[in-house]
Structure 1
């Protein structure tokens, strides 16, 4: 075998029982590996050849996204790591030391089975993974030798991890340097026009771009501010319009847009970038939005010829540069505005306070409004929050199919009251019974073979037959459990709220498929959908009243128990889920009833209660358009 892509089989040597792997080719693959996975794939067969008693070797690394341990490479490739080896790797990472699992008795004596050994991969005090092996040692000496070799071999993978971390640090350092140089170049300029021209030209020169363009948003459209190597340009020319449209495309998608499109988990629209490339004969285009002060203020577009695409490192650097440049350019742009614009923004906050001269009718109207305001100001009322409400069971238990099969009998359906441990559904168990009978036959045959091997004093054959018998007995136990679970019972006394299988006898069901839903008969809760404008006034412990559609003449008191801090969008409005507990008189209540619930907030003036929606709307409008609190 000349490389790791060949056969997974390993031939025995004349003395030690296996042929030594061609280490020269494996060392070459390990030294030239350009990533962790390729290095691991080269290391596992090399380590396998170094261990005399090895049955399998595996490299485990921590997934950077999920944080879970995953097998990056294993050898032989046809043999997946067993649970004992995975457990040993997890224990080694947790304890930060070598771990031995399985095949060793309480007294430290070998039992003759597979032994799983693992040692952690630690770089700069951080555990990044583990390496492990399944071995068949003859005695304690073999176990210690194999463990020592595995720990020595782990140093190779630690070097690869350390090299990968060093390269990542170099990339981050390079990004920081490029961003700092760009900021210094822009910060030295006096006005925004000079700053943008200097920034575009410097970026185009530094990153070998044919053209770099910076634009800022104004009135919901991006307008080009500067083009590299161009002191002036016509804002009506076709190139400027295409550049502005490409920038709008990136800002609308709130992310970097690259054309031609690359393989990515987050694809983006590139229609306008394609138009720009076709019109200007551009090979590669990259647009990064500029984000500052909580919103996107503009974008930067980079263009390159066809034979010079953007590499991943360059993309990361340009993103970092754009991120750092955004607040600097935004600050210069805001300071470089006309005085009239600044004055208008300041006076806009006082516009609603202005009042002009009026006529007698207007004055009379104002007097009436003042009188009504005084009346409502001194008249108090109860501030209540109205919300759509649904009655639900305090606990809902889903009765699901325990395995793939067919419905044999159904004993309850929606609306039925059932007692605890009552059988609700029974699945067909004929196939399981036949499988159990077959396994019993195999068990008897295996017992006969075991007795025969035992009589012949064939220890190897006896061990094999004993293992087969244990496996069959485990399968029989599993079948027995599955037969028991064909009868689905109610976990408590309650009422069936959903599901009707009376018309589905003989129908196929999949494992985990929901069949029925059971809720307690004496425990209910009320779920209210409170509008987002009033959710801040709701606190736990507040009381209220519920009126359901089916009983409009009866009210049911409740108390707020839980406020879910997750927004839900439905029927054109955003609301929050509030859970309440019925406190009295819910004998006639059934799950699923809908109605209206009102939460008692506090006593307030009528004018404040009636005008609150309008006042809140005006505050939001003033904050959005006039920057007024």
Structure 2
């Protein structure tokens, strides 16, 4: 601890009044004071007086304790004797005891100085310093032993301080909780105001509590609502009129105001609050504004018969900060929606008309100017939709019969020519069938020749029929065997169909295995949302940009709008086909992008808000509004 901090603390007058020539109480009274001490100052004063008389030869003594909330400053808690004493002679020895953390002795002119630190654990919370008449080493050792023993009386001071502080915090928290619960329990605004002022007047060391509430409306003038301990009151009385003026001043300044009847007692006294104190005959008064983020709610006035310390001011400010939102909510809950809308409009008008918030006003003006320009500035109205490239003509290669895929060398994106093999089906069963049908045809032919040789007309006709039937079955088997090889129907690009992961998998007859599109011509298909399709008609123009060619834009013209919707990704979309009106090098079927169709010229404000307005109108109609 710096020496100047301790030295400054040592020169501060000790607590309590000191009169010249005050006599020390007898031992019995000192022991009584020691056992019944209610504060650290009372305990230290009684203990120091007892110790100095007990040790013998004591000239003066001092007890320094660490100030609450400050880890550097030590203030005198007790001095002995109670007459004016120069305590600076004990500063050095007290400083040494605190620095070294042990008992210290130091010779002086015809005397010996002793100091002993008061510690809890490894932290020092005070020091005792005494100056004794020099009487030899034995007497000094006895004095140090007594000092070490007697310091135990003061070891519980930090715990007592902490308990006292906790008790005070708990009491104040209970007061605040009771206040808020009582406000929420009341139904009428007058009952809420009465509970607030009466509870504060009973719980705080104040004479009177007044509550003023801001009237709803554009002017928002404060009106005295309730006075503690009064069933009725006259607002025109001088005291109440002064109190109302003080509360209005606190709301205007947006900060707490303090005042006292004696101007010398409070340098920060507000003149309006001082006039109230003089009129009410109170020693001091405190006015607290009650405000919420939405605006002022009211003000609270408390007057006292004693000076207001900083700790009480902080607590009452916390009470006001907690009570203001609760009070505003209680009062606002009983007002109509129209009143709330009027208040909001009035608050906005006051903000715009007043001198405050220049930045918000400038922003508001620029916003209005921008909206006005947007309402008259015409721009192109564009309908955006996902776009996909499709071939102008697309041919499908399907499974010719039920079977299994044994080979599929082609994949989407591969270029093919007409007749190129796309896939092969398993034809082992077909080959067996073809062999059986061929054998059956040969047998039928031999039967026919035998019938001709015998010259039996009936047998010949039957044999011819069997031969024709066997031949047809053989032709069918050969045709199915030939169709086991799936080939490309035209020159182009495979846009759909990847069977590389389905080798050996069964396929059904008629299933589309591949789609082939020519590379010489293609079209763009837009999937337009049902909310926008009514504005898109045949012949409209626009642009499309593909993911694979982000730096190029292609002009399109709508050629067809399908009247049938399709469900896509949780929404209804209509298929809109469009032709590209320029050369399309690099564009391939299957590419995706975004297309925009120009539907006409409309104001910028309409383009920005029409979707929201349409949604609100549809929702209102759906709810029957």
| TM-score between both structures, scaled by the size of structure 2 | 0.42
TM-score when scaled to structure 1? 0.41
